[in-house]
Amino acid sequence: MEKINLTDTFAEFKEQKNIDRATMVRILEDTFRSVLVKQYGTDENFNVIINPNTGEFEIYRNRKVVEDGKVENPELQISLSDAKKIDADFEIGEDVTEQLELKDFGRRTILSLRQNLAGSFMDFEKDNIYQLYKERIGQIVTGEVYQVWKREVLVRDDDGNDLILPKTEQIPSDFFRKGDTLRAVVIRVEIKNNSPLIILSRTSPVFLERLFENEVPEIFDGLITIKKIVRMPGERAKVEVESYDDRIDPVGACVGMKGSRIHSIVRELRNENIDVINYTTNIQLYIQRALSPAKINSIKIIEETKHAEVYLNADEVSLAIGKGGSNIKLASKLCDYEIDVFRESAESEEDVNLDEFADEIDGWIIDVLKQAGCDTAKSVLELGFDELNKRTDLEEETINEVLSILKAEFE
């Protein structure tokens, strides 16, 4: 009966866990031998024979025949009289082979054997999953949403393995229900509580890079290289590309005919605005492309401090800065330059430079206003409270005070 139970355990794990026969046999033999060592002190004189198809097994013990009274180790030796009880033809020096029945081990040992066997199968499976996903770090996986919690989403792949998508790795506008199909990139694999923990991400730049590789054959084939990606997940991203073949337009290839290639990526990223930029070693042209779609009049580069002062028309300032400062922040990260934008226009005789208000407005506040693209009183007033509140980190009370001071100048 116990042999049948163990055979059932073999069949169950082989079917559910998809473990190959050679590995199953090895796990079974290792488990049996660990029991033999515990029971008899050694497993060197035992033969374990396992049927790789059914999991049925036989265990044989080999002992050397010695003279009566000369048995020093009953686990390795057997007296001549005891050997003759098995077969009258045995003589001193010969090997006696006996088949052990499972019941000889005792009920408690048999239960322990089954538990150890199941545990060994589980450990093997966990190690397999860990190694499998360790090699898949940086690759996109597709799974089904199994459970949605406040801080994370549990995803299951086609083999039923559990994957975790933390809230911090989700695009802000992501919304999932149980049963939804989800795509993400594997960013980390670790062992937690003796089980593999596979962490996914949809906010990583690597996810966007893999999406481009899937949609743009020239990138997959290596004809176009993605040099750098910066993202504000769900809002905006800038992708820097380069082609070593002059016949290929890297930006056009990535966007596709009428945006056909990039549209599917944008949909996957919840309508994230993606700017594809052609890399150049000309830093002025590079910054100009990075600040697209704003049109720039001139750029002053300060290499010592890695600063770039960008001058543009008043109606281009908001484009250069972008919603919530997204465009200028990403451009700065992409180019590795701190970018400041300045409004360039012929000041009317009635307008007043912000520096003229140094006695009424703190210098650091004036600097913040300049970084927002305002260098005259009227340029600040034209933006108004709401836009200043979006573009700067100034307190509402401070903004109101500044506006009041500037309005008074023209009254």
Give the type of residue at 144.
E
pLDDT tens, 144-155? 999 999 999 999
Q: Which residues contact 280 (CB under 8 A, 6 or more apart)?
A: 286, 289
Tell me the two tokens of residue 146. 């199994």
- pLDDT for the residue numbered 11: 57
- When mean pLDDT is compared across 196-210, 278-292, 295-309, 358-372, the lowest value belongs to 358-372
Tell me the two tokens of residue 90. 């045995």
In a domain, 367, yes or no: no
Residue at which a domain ends, from 180, 203, 226 = 203
- Say which DSSP state 50 is in: E
Domain harbouring 227, CATH code: 3.30.300.20
Average pLDDT, the chain: 86
Say whether both 73 and 171 belong to one domain: no
- When mean pLDDT is compared across 128-137, 232-241, 311-320, the lowest value belongs to 311-320
Do 250 and 224 touch, CB atoms closer than 8 A? yes
Say whether both 118 and 148 belong to one domain: no
Of the pLDDT bands very low, low, confident and very high (cuts 50, 70, 90), residue 4 is very low
Q: How far apart are CA 70 and CA 79, in angstroms?
A: 7
Name which of 201, 200, 183 is nearest 267 in CA terms.
Answer: 183
Of the pLDDT bands very low, low, confident and very high (cuts 50, 70, 90), residue 225 is very high
Residue at which a domain ends, from 237, 262, 279 = 279
First to last CA, the chain: 101
pLDDT tens, 178-212? 999 999 999 999 998 888 999 999 999 999 999 99
Percent of the chain topping pLDDT 90: 44
Q: How far apart are CA 180 and CA 334, in angstroms?
A: 34
- pLDDT for the residue numbered 14: 54
In a domain, 296, yes or no: no
Cα three-residue angle 21-23-29, rounded to 5 degrees: 100
Say whether both 29 and 103 belong to one domain: yes
Domain around 229: 216-279
Say whether both 56 and 8 belong to one domain: yes
Q: Is the peptide bond before 293 cis (omega within 30 degrees of 0)?
A: yes
Rg of the Cα atoms in the chain: 37
Say whether both 115 and 15 belong to one domain: yes
- pLDDT for the residue numbered 360: 87
In a domain, 194, yes or no: yes
Say whether both 158 and 55 belong to one domain: no
pLDDT tens, 327-383? 999 999 999 999 998 887 544 446 788 888 888 898 899 988 888 888 888 888 888
The stretch 303-318 carries a mean pLDDT of 88
- pLDDT for the residue numbered 399: 92
Count of domains for the chain: 3
DSSP per-residue string spanning 183-210: EEEEEEEEEETTEEEEEEESSSHHHHHH
Do 295 and 313 touch, CB atoms closer than 8 A? yes
Say whether both 143 and 68 belong to one domain: no
Q: How far apart are CA 46 and CA 9, in angstroms?
A: 23
The stretch 250-258 carries a mean pLDDT of 92
Say whether both 108 and 197 belong to one domain: no
In a domain, 285, yes or no: no
In a domain, 395, yes or no: no
In a domain, 261, yes or no: yes
- Evaluated on CA atoms 369, 371, 374, 377, the torsion sign reads positive
SS3 assignment, position 312: strand
Say whether both 62 and 40 belong to one domain: yes
Q: Which residues contact 45 (CB under 8 A, 6 or more apart)?
A: 61, 62, 63, 75, 76
Of the pLDDT bands very low, low, confident and very high (cuts 50, 70, 90), residue 1 is very low
In a domain, 208, yes or no: no
| Segment holding 164, helix H or strand E | strand 162-166
- Evaluated on CA atoms 279, 280, 283, 288, the torsion sign reads negative
Domain harbouring 168, CATH code: 2.40.50.140
Say whether both 187 and 155 belong to one domain: yes
The stretch 27-49 carries a mean pLDDT of 81
Give the type of residue at 80.
L
Of the pLDDT bands very low, low, confident and very high (cuts 50, 70, 90), residue 8 is low
Tell me the two tokens of residue 113. 């054997």
- When mean pLDDT is compared across 218-222, 233-237, 253-257, 316-320, the lowest value belongs to 316-320
Say whether both 8 and 97 belong to one domain: yes
Say whether both 197 and 97 belong to one domain: no
- When mean pLDDT is compared across 41-50, 110-119, 347-356, the lowest value belongs to 347-356
In a domain, 119, yes or no: yes
Q: Is the peptide bond before 233 cis (omega within 30 degrees of 0)?
A: no
Residue at which a domain ends, from 279, 313, 333 = 279
Tell me the two tokens of residue 319. 């484009």
Helices (H), 41-144: 80-86, 107-134
Name which of 182, 191, 190 is nearest 137 in CA terms.
Answer: 190
Q: How far apart are CA 36 and CA 116, in angstroms?
A: 13
Domain harbouring 81, CATH code: 3.30.1480
